[in-house]
Structure 1
Amino acid sequence: MADILLREARIPAGPWAPEGTGEPTWMAVSGGSIAAVGRPGEPEPAADRIIELDGAVLLPGFVDSHTHLGWSAEDRWTVNWSETTTHDEALDSLRTVAARVTPGDWVTGGDWLSGTLPERELPGLAELDRATSGRPLFLRSLDHSIAILNSLALERARIDADTPDPAGGRIERYDDGTPTGVLRGTAIWSRLAAGVVPPPNRARRLAELRDLLADLSARGITEVHDIATYPVEDHRTPIHLERSFTDAGLIDSLAGDLPLRYSFRPSIWRVDEFAEVQVSSPLITFAGFKMSLDNGWYSEPGGPRIDSFRYPGAEVAGRLGKRADACGAALSIHAMGDLGVAEALDILSGLPSRAGAAVPPHRVIHARRVRREDVVRLAALGVAVEVQPWEIVAQGPRLAARGGAEFQRMLSPYRSLLDAGVVVTIGSDRRLGLRVDQRDTDPLVAVQLAVTREGLQPEQCITVTEALACATTAGAIAAGAGGRRGKVAAGYEADLVALGDDPGRLPPDRIAEARPVLTMSAGRVVFEEGAR
């Protein structure tokens, strides 16, 4: 008796299933693992639950190998008008964000400039009320010269027709004296409005994370590798060492209903505090440490290196890496430019090789350009590379203008890396201030960009099968779980996504339309749409 029987599933051939035929078949799931995969015509086992996939394509679950869940969750509930130019754009963005926020919680953000979003384009009070539907709203311009509130926020701030203007500030009013929702000057931050919006607390952070995790499940993501840590409050640090970390304690508190696997990486500067990390769920794992090296150190056109202020230099970095390795932890090095990647490999070459070992490999993050000789070094050292395909179109044209033809050919060199045998994983690097629809979190968008590159350095394009493997199987290998996850085969853990369309049969520029209809994590159905 299986726990779940998936019927009419199509498993295409790929690294996840070398013998996949794409013909309709069944799969039995028991105890969180794939118990059996049938061949067409073979008798089906009995099951507690049967799900009809109606020919959906079944793949390993997507792995976001580099994200910042804390930032991403906050961003999901924050209105960002920094690049908004029109009234309709502003209102659409507000509706999208407000719909995510739990009714009763505040909708905050703003960050517009009058030169980008003129005041005449700001939504009016009635429009704000309709867009927010029971949620108080407080938005401020980037220069804090103007704020807009909806009616519920005005009520909570006790601002009405009888409220006087504070010294140095003004409450905008209609002809009958009632507030329009616009505050200016000291009215924004004086006692009139100060403290009305409660500071983010644990309850809000948890609500933001739950909302984000549900969205990730709907995108077919079954595992994330986060930049996270357990915050330390009881001692001082000379600088903010962990610029964008998620509070792993929040994830720990969600362990009972966590819909995906969660791996976290704190700063290398905390290596002595993380020799033995205790977590409360098998879905949560400590994945090693992260180090920031460069913020753009390229060979062309030359010039001074641009290091992260968190980078201590190669000598100290090497010592920190050896301390991490001594407690069995992998090291991930943030290196953008080709010279940054070269120095990262110099550091990693001083550590015991993990090539071929059943442990998480060391990683290089971003690698926006890699020299040909360093592609060979990455393969020889067994170092994985985390890439974010949206960087190809966001940064590619600007980087291409830096150097000559050879420099351009090795920008985001996915083809060269895969041909050399390097493990390439796809991540979103989802953080603050990105797209309101969060398509930069979507693994199918990333797969599409890796395949098409929108015409940039086409010699580095990879196939749909290769891109899907980078977004699925490679993530399991990077987690040190390649023998347990990342394949659609008996004995492997049931982390799966079913897609309504086969990405390999869609036009390359429409791959992202192959939407998930079912997501399973550790054998549990965490998203279901369209499956029966």
Structure 2
Amino acid sequence: MVQSVQTFINGKIFTSNPEQPHASAMIVRDGRISWIGEQPALKRIEGNCIDLKGQRVLPGFIDAHLHPLWLANASTQIACTPPIVNSIADLIVEIQTVYQLSRNDQWIEGWGFDEGKLLEKRTPTRWDLDQAAPDLPVFISRTCTHIAVVNSKALELAGITKETPDPPGGEIDRDSTGEPTGILRENAKELATRIMPVKSLEENAASLAELGSFLLSHGITAITDLSSRTGPTDYLNLYQTAVKKGLKQRTVLYYMWEDLKEQPHLKPDQVNCKNQIHIGGIKLFSDGSVSGKTAWVYTPFLGEAENYGIQTTSKEELTAAAEAAEQNQIQLVVHAMGGQAIDLILKTLDTKKNWLSDGPSLRIEHAAMPTTQAIKRAAEKGIAFVTQAIFMFAEIESYHNNLGEERTKQTYPIKSMLDAGVKVALSSDAPATAWADPVNPFVGIKSAVTRQAYNGADTGQEQRIDVATAILLYTKAAQEITRIPEVGKLAVNHHADFIVLEKDIFDMDLDKIDTVSVSKTYMGGELVFEKHR
């Protein structure tokens, strides 16, 4: 068999490998790095020589908390974000435009509204949506994806009336007469989503493959799906089909506990980390979102003395899910934003021993408002926090409205987590944030290193981290938490997954980091993306 060999020279390589942080040349043999170091030590050029022309090189990014199928489908829905939608009136116009082109049996869908950014400073209601589409069902997701608004036709099809009780872990908003307003919080959304039309496996796989190309343009070479399902389409089959259609990213799936609880046994090949597509964990929710005022907090949301958010799971569910995760030798992954939600997880599983040897057994997703004691306990137990600095950057209006300026500065205390020894990864949670390009890693990195929102608001200077650390949290640390083997750093025997930047992220104003773009992306030493000039 003929070996594929390339020698990359004249680069400014940041390796994410603390044992050898910097290099200027590397040799790639059959997709893996066989040598890396400073160019003067390079004894000879092997194979094809590629001149990096002094550009900055980083390991490929790993998005440790992502919703690829949602993100892929969002491109076909109404984008309810600035600059297009700045008010409920704008939203009505956008829905009307789609309505006029729609079939009789079609659902109209949208994503990304944030009432903090809307002129009216309130959440749309069924009656707003009815003005635009009186006889077709409409489903609009809030930016956090934990809240949706539907119109009267959708309520009718879902069978939601005055008499419909709130489902466990969910709330149906009602007016003063008890009439549903169309706003469905947390698990109440499922009353509508379960009756919505489902795309075929082939359609969704094609969308994922197309998204994969876009993610490569952002330097993202490994991804996760934190809302994977067993039905009506099994996501393992879906992603394997997407690979056949061109999806290149190494991908970890996290299955929803509600889908697995009846039959939690998985086959060894399904959870094999060496497979491009594999199952890495079981996912459940402990609460909702800060921006949607459904995070389960210790101090009530601003101006709502009785609103402590929503608890969406129980000790019994957490314990059962942890046992299933241990049985399958995969992670337990729990969404928790508020302090009470985080503490429920820690207290429930405090005496349970870690069951994985190659990474954290337990991951807490978002971890927006951990107490000092929770941070300390997570460090002691080897529990990982997978967090999203982009939330503060993009959703500052809602954070200020719901928490106030001082509490906002205390959210996502990334530096405190790291100082305590907690395993931390940065990620995007795309498309669950109010930003036009929510998956862009450089936006999250900018937020983490400046602790300023897009509008310049201070989001907590004491919690700033430096650029190198932010990159580590998107590469090496993300690998250690997702357990994807032999990626995350540029080192001998690792996959040659790396990106070349147009500008040097280490040599620029911090407030310009979100303007950094990827010139080239390589996977296994193969050029898989090149920016056209």
TM-score (norm. length: structure 2): 0.70
Residues 66-109 of structure 1: CA deviation (Å, up to 9, x unaligned): 1111111000232335763599x99xx99xxx9xxxxxxx9985
Residue in 2 that maps onto 1:447: 445
C-alpha distance in structure 2 between counterparts of 1:222 and 1:211, whole Å? 14
Q: Give the alignment of 1:264-343 within 5 angstroms.
A: 264-269=253-258, 270-271=260-261, 272-276=263-267, 278-279=269-270, 282-295=275-288, 296-301=295-300, 303=306, 305-307=308-310, 309=312, 311=313, 313-343=314-344
Paired residues in the alignment total 425
Shift of the 375–78 alpha-carbon distance from structure 1 to 2, 3 Å rule, reads same
User: 517, 529, 532: which one pairs with 2:531?
Assistant: 529
Deviation at 1:304, TM superposition (A): 5.7
Residue in 1 that maps onto 2:210: 211
Shift of the 388–433 alpha-carbon distance from structure 1 to 2, 3 Å rule, reads closer
Contact 1:300 1:403 in 2 (8 A): no
User: 473, 476, 482: which one pairs with 1:473?
Assistant: 476
Residue in 2 that maps onto 1:254: 242
Contact 2:74 2:110 in 1 (8 A): no
* RMSD after superposition: 3.7
User: 513, 516, 519: which one pairs with 1:514?
Assistant: 516
Letter in 2 for 1:262: T
Residue in 2 that maps onto 1:502: 504
Alignment partner of 2:204: what SS?
helix
1:41 equivalent to 2:40? Answer: yes
Residues 281-313 of structure 1: CA deviation (Å, up to 9, x unaligned): 82112111111011211111374653354x2x1
Shift of the 471–85 alpha-carbon distance from structure 1 to 2, 3 Å rule, reads closer
1:352 equivalent to 2:353? Answer: yes
Deviation at 1:253, TM superposition (A): 0.9
Deviation at 1:273, TM superposition (A): 3.4
Contact 2:112 2:434 in 1 (8 A): no
Residue in 1 that maps onto 2:170: none
Letter in 2 for 1:247: Y
Deviation at 1:230, TM superposition (A): 4.8
Residue in 2 that maps onto 1:155: none
Of the structure 1 ranges 51-60 and 257-266, higher mean CA displacement relative to structure 2 is found in 51-60
Residue in 2 that maps onto 1:16: 17
C-alpha distance in structure 1 between counterparts of 2:410 and 2:250, whole Å? 33
Deviation at 1:262, TM superposition (A): 0.3
C-alpha distance in structure 1 between counterparts of 2:420 and 2:112, whole Å? 46
Letter in 1 for 2:523: S
Letter in 2 for 1:447: I
Deviation at 1:211, TM superposition (A): 1.7
C-alpha distance in structure 1 between counterparts of 2:266 and 2:393, whole Å? 39
Contact 1:361 1:478 in 2 (8 A): no
Alignment partner of 1:266: what SS?
strand
Residue in 2 that maps onto 1:127: none
Show structure 1 runs of 5+ residues with no match: 99-105, 118-139, 148-197, 234-244
Shift of the 399–299 alpha-carbon distance from structure 1 to 2, 3 Å rule, reads farther
C-alpha distance in structure 1 between counterparts of 2:37 and 2:474, whole Å? 25
C-alpha distance in structure 1 between counterparts of 2:200 and 2:343, whole Å? 42
Deviation at 1:496, TM superposition (A): 1.4
C-alpha distance in structure 2 between counterparts of 1:416 and 1:47, whole Å? 45
Residues 452-482 of structure 1: CA deviation (Å, up to 9, x unaligned): 1212111111111111111111110002247
- % identical equivalent positions: 23
Deviation at 1:389, TM superposition (A): 1.2
Residue in 1 that maps onto 2:30: 31
Residue in 2 that maps onto 1:136: none
Shift of the 403–219 alpha-carbon distance from structure 1 to 2, 3 Å rule, reads closer
Q: Give the alignment of 1:30-179 within 5 angstroms.
A: 30-43=29-42, 45-81=44-80, 84=84, 143-145=132-134
C-alpha distance in structure 2 between counterparts of 1:514 and 1:6, whole Å? 22
Show structure 2 runs of 5+ residues with no match: 99-105, 120-128, 137-196, 289-294, 453-457
Letter in 2 for 1:450: A
Residues 510-529 of structure 1: CA deviation (Å, up to 9, x unaligned): 11222212212244322123
Q: Which has the larger radius of gyration?
A: 1
C-alpha distance in structure 2 between counterparts of 1:203 and 1:54, whole Å? 41
C-alpha distance in structure 2 between counterparts of 1:68 and 1:443, whole Å? 14
Shift of the 362–348 alpha-carbon distance from structure 1 to 2, 3 Å rule, reads same
